[in-house]
Structure 1
Amino acid sequence: MKFILKILSKILSERSIYYINKLRLGYNMVNDEKGYLNETGYLKSKIQNTLLVNEEYVPWLNFSLIDILKEKLNQNLDIFEYGSGASTLFFSKRVRSVTSIEHDKDWFKKINKVISDKSNINLYYIDLDKNYPNSIKKIDPYKKYDIIFIDGRMRKECCISITENLKEGSVIILDDSDRAKYKDGIKYITDLGYNSLNLRGLKPMGFKIDQTTIFYKSGNNCLKI
Structure 2
Amino acid sequence: MIMLKKLFFKLLPYASQVSYNNYKILSREYGHYKSAKLWQSMDKNGQPIPWYSYPLIEYLQQLDFSQKTIFEYGSGNSTLFWASRSKHVVAIEDDPAWYAQIKPKLPSNVTYLLVDNKEDYVKAIHQFSTSFDVIIVDGSHRYDCIISARPLLSNTGFIILDNADWFIEATAFLRGTDLIEVDMAGFNPINGYTTVTSLFLTRQVSLSPASDKQPKTPIGGIEQYLDHK
Q: Same fold (TM over 0.5)?
A: yes
Structure 1: 5+ residue stretches without partners: 7-20
Change (3 A) 1:129 1:217: closer
Contact 1:98 1:120 in 2 (8 A): yes
Write the distance in 2 (CA, Å) between the matches of 1:211 and 1:224: 23
Pairing 1:201–2:186 present:
yes
Write the distance in 1 (CA, Å) between the matches of 2:109 and 2:189: 25
Pairing 1:167–2:154 present:
yes
Contact 1:57 1:89 in 2 (8 A): yes
Correspondence for 1:124: 113
- What percentage of aligned pairs have identical amino acids? 28
SS in 2 for 1:131: helix
How far is the alpha carbon of 1:147 from its aligned partner? Answer: 0.2
Q: How does 1:67-146 map to 2 (within 5 A)?
A: 67-115=58-106, 118-138=107-127, 140=128, 142-146=129-133
TM-score (norm 1): 0.80
Pairing 1:64–2:51 present:
no
Once superposed, which parts of structure 1, at least 4 consecutive aligned residues long, lie more than 6 Å away?
none
Correspondence for 1:15: none
Write the distance in 1 (CA, Å) between the matches of 2:164 and 2:117: 21
Structure 2: 5+ residue stretches without partners: 1-7, 210-229
Write the distance in 2 (CA, Å) between the matches of 1:27 and 1:168: 45
How far is the alpha carbon of 1:131 from its aligned partner? Answer: 3.1
Count of residue pairs brought into register by the alignment: 200
Please, which moves more after superposition, 43-52 or 150-159?
A: 43-52
**Matching residue's letter, 1:173:** I
SS in 1 for 2:147: helix
For residues 169-224 of structure 1, give each alpha carbon's deviation from its aligned partner in whole angstroms, at most 9, with x where no partner exists.
Answer: 11000001001xx2222222111100100001111111101111100024x21336
